[in-house]
Amino acid sequence: MTREFSDELLSAYLDGQLSAAERATVDAELAANPDLRQLLDELQSLTLQVQSLPRLSAPADFSQRVVQAAVLAAAEKEATVEPARPQDSSASPHQIRRRVLLPVVLAGTAAVAASVAMLFWRPGQAENVLGPNVVNSAPEEPTAAERALAQLRQAIPQEGAAVVLRLRVGPGQTVSQALAAAGITERPPTDLSTEAMQIGAAYRSQLAEKFGGVTPGVPNLALDEGTIAATDALFVEAAWESLEQAVASLAESPEHALELSPLMHVAISSIQGADDAEGEGEAATTAAKKAAAANYAQRLNAGMFRLEKAVTPVAASTSSSATTIPGTQRVKVLLLIEHVAK
Amino acid sequence: MAQDDGELIHATLRGDSAAFGQLVHRYQDRLLTALYHVSGSRDEAEDVAQEAFVLAYVKLTLFAGSSSFYTWLYRIAFNTAISRRRKRRGEASVEQTRDTTGSEPHDDAEPAEDRLLRQERAAQVQQALARLPDEFRRVLVLREMDGCDYDTIAQILELPIGTVRSRLHRARLHLKEQLSAAITDRHDRG
């Protein structure tokens, strides 16, 4: 080997990454130097061994999970939160309203701008938010199903708004089966024509206010210690009577009392965009209305949702006069599900 | 006909997230394999890959197209992996977290003894790779597992091309030494 020759040229020679002049230099050196030829052989063998190491395949649902997380992250990033301000003169002082502008993530070409107002409430403030105080005059002990339905009824906001509900279910209580039995069919997670992502983003923003945000690669101890992962997340948009039927069937389990805790309201008002205003989107609007009328549940990536460890039970009234909801009213609920052992 | 990356990127920027799903699907296995051999853990590789794709989606408007999408994505992924590793320094080492792949293709025509020998050799190479310093392992994985040319490696790792060349050679020499030591050690014990 001549003094000028650098053996690092050997790797580049092996990889075909040398200029013609450099290649000629290496060829000449190899012809004259058996040690160098041996090193080249060894490097070649090593290269082949590394190249033959096993390849991995992503899990079947990987791209689906990634797209969900990406859309949600984009929605969170673009959310612009104004300073808190009182809702209106008649509102309870406990009510805080924020205007959040979310990005248009609806699929398709319809120009629909969604402005979302999130109406926060903490479990302890539920009655302030949900309307007039209700006198609980029911003398008899309510059944588990009655209790669950009363909690649900109280949590349902006005039409157009959505609620994020924490659902603690026990063994044998399968939410997706109960929804299916009530005629609420599953819609693919990749269908972005629903408001699931915006509502999920609103919930995550609220949690980030308390525990801090999630930055890739940066551990968030407060979040890790103060919350647990949801085991399932389902966005449901359905007629009230269908959801009521599903929850009633879940609550019938004798082994575990279904527990519902409303976490926040998300009020969404959609404004038709320019296309629709000019009448061009009439057919699309009709199709959208038809699609909206279907009862559906959309599974979201549960790994994106955390639940606070400390749960304060919501005081729920069992009085049927608490809230009357028409059976055909469309309700939107993001169910964050926690499975408990017993 | 499959759309090229540019078409899928434009569709994604117009709000078609399914197009982004196609991009993810196109690169997920390659990226996952590279990250697995860099981090030594399948779970970590999946987490980093997901973070990288999410960051790419969120920052897609910043993608200038001066490099390929794949190179840009890898740069994000490798930076994410480095950042996570820095934060977690002090936790279990790569060797300790390395899980078995169990995903190696099985060739029915190959005699069992040959297959065992080959698997044993692959395990040795994998262990030796895991023991390399991070900067050597990264450059080696990009070259050998992903087939990147030097220019692409330089773009992904943001290094001068001369550094890529010398680092890759030193990485191979290190790996050769590690494997020789492992074989000697095995013979001494055997």
pLDDT in tens, A187-232: 877 777 778 888 888 888 888 888 887 765 667 788 888 888 888 9
With a pLDDT cut of 90, the percent of chain B lying above it is: 57
**Residues B79, B38: contact at Cβ < 8 Å?**
no
How confident is the prediction for chain A on average, in pLDDT? 71
Give the A:B interface size as CB pairs under 8 Å: 140
Residues of chain A neighbouring B89 (CB-CB closer than 8 A): none
Q: What are phi and psi of A297, to 5 degrees?
A: -130, 135
pLDDT at A317 over 80: no
Question: Do residues A165 and A333 make contact, with C-beta atoms less than 8 angstroms apart?
Answer: yes
> CB B17 to CB A105 under 8 A?
yes
pLDDT at B26: 95
What confidence tens digit (pLDDT) does each residue in B41-99 have? 999 999 999 999 999 999 998 887 778 999 999 999 999 998 888 877 655 444 343 44
**Least confident span in A52-56, A104-108, A315-319:** A104-108
Three-class SS of residue A176?
Answer: helix
Distance from A13 to chain B by nearest Cα, in Å?
A: 10
> Is B37 a residue whose pLDDT tops 90?
yes
Q: Which of A13-27, A127-141, A170-184, B166-180 has the lowest mean pLDDT?
A: A127-141
Spatial contact of B49 and B77, defined as CB atoms under 8 Å apart: yes
Neighbouring-strand partners of residue B81: none
Q: A276 pLDDT band (50/70/90 cuts)?
A: very low
Name the more confident of A86 and A241: A241
**Residue A121 pLDDT > 90, yes or no?**
no
Name chain B contacts of A219, Cβ cutoff 8 Å.
87-88
**Which residues does residue A229 pair with via DSSP β-bridges, in sequence order?**
A306
pLDDT of residue A109: 27
3-state secondary structure chain A: CCCCCCCHHHHHHHCCCCCHHHHHHHHHHHHHCHHHHHHHHHHHHHHHHHHCCCCCCCCCCHHHHHHHHHHHHHHHHHCEECCCEECCCCCCCCCEEEEEECCCCCCCCCCEEEEEEEEECCHHHHHHHHCCCCCCCCCCCCCHHHHHHHHHHHHCCCCCEEEEEEEEECCCCCHHHHHHHCCCEEECCCCCCCCHHHHHHHHHHHHHHHHCCCECCECCHHHHHHEEECCEEEEEEEEHHHHHHHHHHHHCCCCCCCEEEEEEEEEEEEEECHHHHCCCCHHHHHHHHHHHHCCEEEEECHHHCEEECCCCCCCCCCCCCCCCCCCCCEEEEEEEEEECCC
- Check the CA dihedral A178-A179-A185-A189 and report its sign: negative
Q: What is the mean pLDDT of chain B?
A: 84
pLDDT at A72 over 90: no
pLDDT given at position A188: 79
- 3-state secondary structure (DSSP) of residue A335: strand
Residue A323 CB: number of other CB atoms within 10 A? 17
Share of chain B above pLDDT 70, in %: 84
Taking 50 as the threshold, does the pLDDT of residue A126 lie above it?
A: no
Shortest Cα distance, chain B CAs vs residue A317, angstroms: 43
- Residue A49: which of B80, B101, B125 has the nearest Cβ? B125
Mean pLDDT of A13-21: 93
Q: How confident is the model at residue A117, as a pLDDT? A: 37
Note the pLDDT tens digit of each residue in A153-179.
888 887 778 889 998 888 777 888 889
Asked whether the beta carbons of residue B176 and residue A43 sit closer than 8 angstroms, the reply is yes
**pLDDT-wise least confident of A104-118, A275-289, B136-150:** A104-118
Chain-chain contact of B149 with A192 (C-beta, under 8 angstroms):
no
Please determine, for residue A124, whether its predicted confidence score (pLDDT) is greater than 60. Answer: no
SS3 for B179? helix
For residue A15, give the chain B residue with the closest CA: B149
- Search chain B and give the residue with CA nearest A6: B166
For residue A290, the tally of other CB atoms under 10 A from its CB is 9
User: A118 pLDDT exceeds 70?
Assistant: no
Give the β-pairing of A232-239 and A96-101: unpaired
Facing residue for A66 by CB, picked from B37, B54, B172 = B54
Q: Is B101 close to A7, i.e. CB distance below 8 A?
A: no
Is the pLDDT reported for residue A4 higher than 50?
yes
Residue of A nearest to B144 (CA): A51
Minimum-distance CB partner of A73 among B18, B54, B169 = B54
Tokens representing residue A198 in the block = 């915006």
Q: Which residues of A touch B172 (CB under 8 A)?
A: 11, 43, 46-47
For residue A134, name the pLDDT band (cuts at 50, 70, 90): very low
Residue linked to tokens 């597992």? B145
Task: Give the separation between CA A336 and CA A327, rounded to whole angstroms.
Answer: 23
**Cβ-defined contact of B87 to A218 (cutoff 8 Å):** yes
Best of B50, B124, B127, B176 to substitute, by most chain A Cβ atoms within 10 angstroms, is: B50
In this prediction, residue A113 has a pLDDT band, given cuts at 50, 70 and 90, of: very low
CB A121 within 8 Å of CB A94 = yes
Angle at B16 between CA B12 and CA B22, to 5 degrees: 70
Which of A37-41, A299-303, B182-186 shows the lowest mean pLDDT across its residues? B182-186
For residue A215, give how far its alpha carbon lies from the nearest alpha carbon of chain B (Å). Answer: 10
For residue A92, name the pLDDT band (cuts at 50, 70, 90).
very low
Query: What share of chain A in percent tops pLDDT 90?
Result: 20
- pTM of the predicted model, to two decimals? 0.57
Helix H or strand E encompassing A268: strand A259-272
CA distance A224 to A11: 46
Lowest-confidence segment of A100-104, B97-101, B155-159 by average pLDDT: A100-104
Q: Assess: ipTM above 0.90.
A: no
pLDDT at B89: 67
pLDDT at A299: 86
Output the pLDDT for position B113: 74
pLDDT confidence bin for A18, thresholds 50/70/90: very high
Q: What pLDDT is attached to residue B91? A: 52
pLDDT of residue A172: 74
Mean pLDDT, range A278-288, rounded to an integer: 45
Half-sphere exposure of A176 (CA within 13 A, CB side): 9
How many angstroms separate the CA of residue A295 from the nearest CA in chain B? 23
Residue A63 near residue B28, CB atoms below 8 Å:
yes
